[in-house]
Amino acid sequence: MSNKKEDDKGENQTNHNLIKSSKTEISKKQENRLPAKTKPINKLSPFQGLTPKEEKRLTRRLTTILVTLTIGILITLYIISPLSKLQGITIQGVDKADTQSIVKSSQLTVGDNLWSQYFNKSEDMKRIVKDNPRVKTASLKITQFNHFYIKVTEYDVVAVLSKDNQMYPVLSNGKILSEVAQESEKNLPQLINFKEGEGLDSLLKSYEKFTPKMKSEIMSIESQATKTNPFRIKLNMKDGNQVIGLSTTIADKLVFYDKIVAEMKTKGVIDMEAGKTGVFSYPFETQDSSVSDGLSDENSSESTNNGF
């Protein structure tokens, strides 16, 4: 009896396990039949149905479009704003030239488009130099976003031309201005009987070689040019002496001026025209018909050969 109860108990336990196992298998099958959970779909998203690689490519394209549109909008706003208009012009480097004349020659207009005028600056700067004889160079750049800064350099005024009781500036490039010299320029050496050309150009080239001390001792320089010799000049010195020579060689010979004057007994003429090194001096009172146009008479007993 006892064995039969144990057999029945074992059989019941086995049946229970089989039933439990069947339920587990049925539960797994049912789970497999359930639809998989999916992310919610945003119907407004441009990335719907795209792979990650495609999403990345589309993102780059959209970014490029947005940046381009933004730049376009900013440029449009800049063009219609006052920032794109020329607001002012500053001129630097002017000493003797006329500032208003420079601005007028440039044809730049405050209030007009900045960039259309800037890109034409080469022609504008050439016009300034052409219309203003004192101006040597002119350059332009932008400052403060919408202002023009023009820098000019001027030719030096090295002398004044004395003509008809007036004085006219002579520039370092050989140009004689038609305007009357300014008061500060009237203390410069005076040129007499000069015209624009090779004679004046040669003198100015030699004048650059003169020492500051020698320049300060010259009162005036007179052209004694002839048809065959456009370079003959006479220097009237502040100490009362006169120097005759050629503008092509005078700079090399004037270095001996102080030594020659120290040997002279009276005021007179120092002739530096003869040869490359020949120098003669003689008193004013010996200057007669034997001395033509200021040339010394080498045979005169009063003349002194100061050859070096």
Q: pLDDT, tens digit, for every residue of 212-231?
A: 999 999 999 999 998 888 99
Per-residue pLDDT of 94-116, as tens digits, reads 999 999 999 999 999 999 999 99
More confident call, 50 vs 92: 92
More confident call, 233 vs 61: 233
| Number of helices and strands in the chain (H, E) | 9, 12
3-state secondary structure 97-135: CCHHHHHHHHCCCCCCEHHHHHCCHHHHHHHHHHHCCCE
Q: Which pLDDT score is estimated for 75?
A: 78
Lowest-pLDDT range of 9-13, 188-192, 241-245, 272-276: 9-13
- Residue 295: is its pLDDT beyond 50? no
Alpha helices for 1-113 (secondary structure H): 2-33, 52-80, 99-106
Q: Which pLDDT score is estimated for 297?
A: 42
Q: Which pLDDT score is estimated for 56?
A: 83
Contacts of 305 (CB under 8 A, 6+ apart): 278, 279, 280, 298
User: CB–CB of 263/304 below 8 Å?
Assistant: yes
- DSSP classification of residue 202: H
Read off φ and ψ for residue 16, nearest 5 degrees. Answer: -65, -40
Q: Which pLDDT score is estimated for 227?
A: 87
- Residue 291: is its pLDDT beyond 70? no
More confident call, 3 vs 64: 64
User: CB–CB of 224/234 below 8 Å?
Assistant: yes
Q: What percent of the chain has pLDDT over 90?
A: 57
More confident call, 56 vs 117: 117
Q: Which pLDDT score is estimated for 171?
A: 96
Confidence of residue 272 (pLDDT cuts 50, 70, 90): very high
One-letter identity of residue 289: S
- For residue 192 the two structure tokens come to 């007499």
More confident call, 49 vs 222: 222
Confidence of residue 11 (pLDDT cuts 50, 70, 90): low
Per-residue pLDDT of 253-264, as tens digits, reads 999 999 999 999
- For residue 153 the two structure tokens come to 């350099």
- For residue 70 the two structure tokens come to 């933004």
- Residue 73: is its pLDDT beyond 70? yes
Q: How many CB atoms lie within 10 A of CB 246?
A: 18
Domains and CATH numbers, the chain: 82-154 (3.10.20.310), 157-305 (3.40.50.10960)
> For 96-251, where are the E strands, in sequence order?
135-143, 147-154, 157-163, 166-171, 190-192, 218-223, 232-237, 242-246
Burial of 210 per CB tally in 10 Å (0-12, 13-18, 19+): middle
More confident call, 299 vs 22: 22
pTM of the model: 0.67
- For residue 61 the two structure tokens come to 């394209």
Q: Which pLDDT score is estimated for 18?
A: 52
More confident call, 67 vs 308: 67
Confidence of residue 193 (pLDDT cuts 50, 70, 90): very high
Q: How far is it, in rounded angstroms, from Cα 240 to Cα 218? A: 10
- Residue 202: is its pLDDT beyond 80? yes
Q: Which pLDDT score is estimated for 298?
A: 41
Helical packing angle, 121-131 and 99-106, nearest 10°:
140
User: CB–CB of 141/161 below 8 Å?
Assistant: no
